[in-house]
Structure 1
Amino acid sequence: MAGDGVIRVGVAGAAGRMGLSVCAAVEAADGLVLAGQADPALGATLEQILGDVDVVVDFTRPDTAQANAEACLAAGVHVVIGTSGFDQDAVAAAAAASKDGARAFFAPNFAIGAVLMMRFAAEASQHMKKAEIIELHHDQKLDAPSGTAARTASMMAGDVPIHSVRLPGLVAHQEVILGGLGETLTIRHDSLSRESFMPGVVLAVRRVADQSEPFVVGLEHVLFPSA
């Protein structure tokens, strides 16, 4: 962190749809400064901005997110990861080995409502007989099932099947349908624009340096510290 208390933020994948939203959110947030933008489309690599930033936000691709996170941690830079589908064990090991105490944070979903949906679904699964998840995303999303759906299922009791839909016109949507004797319960969250993820991203950027563990997964640990 800069000596004046300002957090200097770099964005990996800055020219992508999520990256552009993150850049705008950082510029609008008090106490944050957009200090670096890395993206092949901008002609700037991650290595070129690491010396100028305190935290990197990564919204790239599953095949580059792990290497990006490891490079950040090796340079003593905290990293907030929004890309899913990477090797979490490798990033956890890199965070644990960081000599400068750099921290890594990953959230399958940064929308506050999505975190609440997962929490409610986990609680409901303790009382309902069976459940299934339907997750729906835009047709450019590379991983299936989504990180949000996989995380939701891991938090719930029992075996929870996941069904993935990829169609143009969608952003990010998920239904958890639970069934019991003569009744069903549906918990649904819809992200109608990428702006829905930005409050969670900004919150993670502010908190990553103070997290107690080298690698933390899930925005619920920021919203509900006892989670």
Structure 2
Amino acid sequence: MIKVIVNGARGKMGRAVLTAVTADKDLELVGAVDVTGGMDIGDLIGAAKTGIIVDSDLQRVITTVNPDVMVDFTRPDAVFNNACQALENHVCPVIGTTGLSDEAKDKLNEIALKYNTPAFIAANFAIGAVLMMIMAKKAAKYLPNVEIIELHHDQKLDAPSGTAITTAEMISEVRKPMKQGNPNETEKLKGARGAQLNGIPIHSVRLPGYVAHQEVIFGGLGQTLTIRHDSIDRTSFMPGVLLACKKVIHLKGLVRNLDKIM
């Protein structure tokens, strides 16, 4: 059994992870962490009491239960330190919190190698989202004019989403940077054409009612191609999270994105 703790346990994603790990025969939930502690996880997920109380101190939980894996769905301003703390205690982080810079990811890779403790991070744990990104990369070889629209709930803190950035990065592997649209176009309102990554416009929508959604729109002569993925419930991310919990202990350094372990 792989022993798992969940950091950010009282958040929406954290509660979904608690439920999924509890139900998996190969994983054992041994601890939960959140800035607001003091609740039995059974009460948190609408199940029978487990005797596992959400603790506000990550180090105390690690020391007490000696986990193999820490799943982190916290905040962009906290995840780096959480992951470092896990690695220094030889606990493998599975990171679902987005917003880490490339420099921070490179540093985590260094720390993972130093402590011989692997780590995993994914922009999106939904299998369908991974397939969307792979298909977008294939399409970009033939239809290089592309824009990305990502739509998330209004409590998401980072924009663009990690999924949108990763999609643009994957497209950039097969598509040279280029200027799209009319070379003389002007923005009457700054940002109207979106953020730019290697010449790929990325547009972010934040509204209540959404979970996580993305469209990759390609344009060509007399045609358009739209590849869209919708997560309509947070359970869509759980198969990927569970897979990462089982695979991470066999990796080396920091491995990025779900397609590397599928």
Stretches of 4+ moved more than 2 A in 1? 87-100
Which position in structure 2 is the counterpart of 1:76?
Answer: 90
Find the aligned partners of 1:155 and 1:171 in 2 and give their Cα distance: 23
Tell whether the 8 Å contact from 1:111 to 1:196 is kept in structure 2 after alignment. Answer: yes
RMSD: 1.2
Name which of 58, 61, 74 aligns with 1:60. 74
Q: Secondary structure at the match of 1:44?
A: coil
In 1, the alpha carbon distance for the partners of 2:221 and 2:111 equals 50
8 Å CA contact 2:148–2:203 kept in 1: the answer is yes
Letter in 2 for 1:205: C
Q: Distance in 2 between matches of 1:26 and 1:96?
A: 28
For the pair 1:148 / 2:143, whether they are aligned, the reply is no
1:100 Cα deviation after fit: 3.9
Contact 1:73 1:95 in 2 (8 A): no
Unaligned stretches of 5+ residues in structure 1: 1-5
Q: Does 1:19 align with 2:59?
A: no
User: Which whole-Å deviations, capped at 9, do the CAs of 1:54-93 have from their partners, x for residues lacking one?
Assistant: 1000000000000000100111110000001023433433
Q: Which residue in the other structure is 1:103 paired with?
A: 118
Supply the distance in 1 between the matched residues of 2:224 and 2:111 (Cα, whole angstroms). 46
CA distance in 2 between partners of 1:100 and 1:35 (Å): 23
Q: TM-score, normalised by structure 2?
A: 0.80
- Report the CA distance between 1:44 and its aligned residue: 2.3
| Cα distance in structure 1, aligned partners of 2:109 and 2:31 | 22
Deviation at 1:49, TM superposition (A): 1.4
The answer to whether residue 138 in structure 2 is matched with residue 126 in structure 1 is: no
Structure 2 SS opposite 1:161: strand
**Corresponding residue number in structure 1 for 2:258:** 219
8 A contact 2:20–2:238 mirrored in 1 = yes
Cα distance in 1 for residues equivalent to 2:226 and 2:105: 34
Which is further off, 72-81 or 93-102? 93-102
Q: Distance in 1 between matches of 2:125 and 2:106?
A: 19
Change (3 A) 1:97 1:24: same
Match of 1:30 in 2: 25
Over 3 Å counting, the alpha-carbon distance change for 1:88 and 1:49 in structure 2 is farther
The residue that corresponds to 1:50 in the other structure is 62
Please, which runs of 5 or more residues in structure 2 have no aligned partner?
38-54, 178-198
CA distance in 2 between counterparts of 1:73 and 1:143 reads 24
Instruction: Percent identity, please.
Output: 52
- The one-letter amino acid paired with 2:24 is A
Residue type matched to 2:224 in 1? T
Correspondence for 2:223: 183
Q: Which amino acid aligns with 1:176?
A: V
Displacement of 1:48 in angstroms is 1.4
Q: Is the 8 A contact 2:84 2:111 kept in 1?
A: no
Does structure 2 conserve the Cα–Cα contact (< 8 Å) formed by 1:66 and 1:87?
Answer: no
Distance 1:208 1:92 in 2: 17
Structure 1 residue identity aligned to 2:215? E
The structure number with the bigger radius of gyration is: 2
Determine helix, strand or coil for the equivalent of 2:31: strand
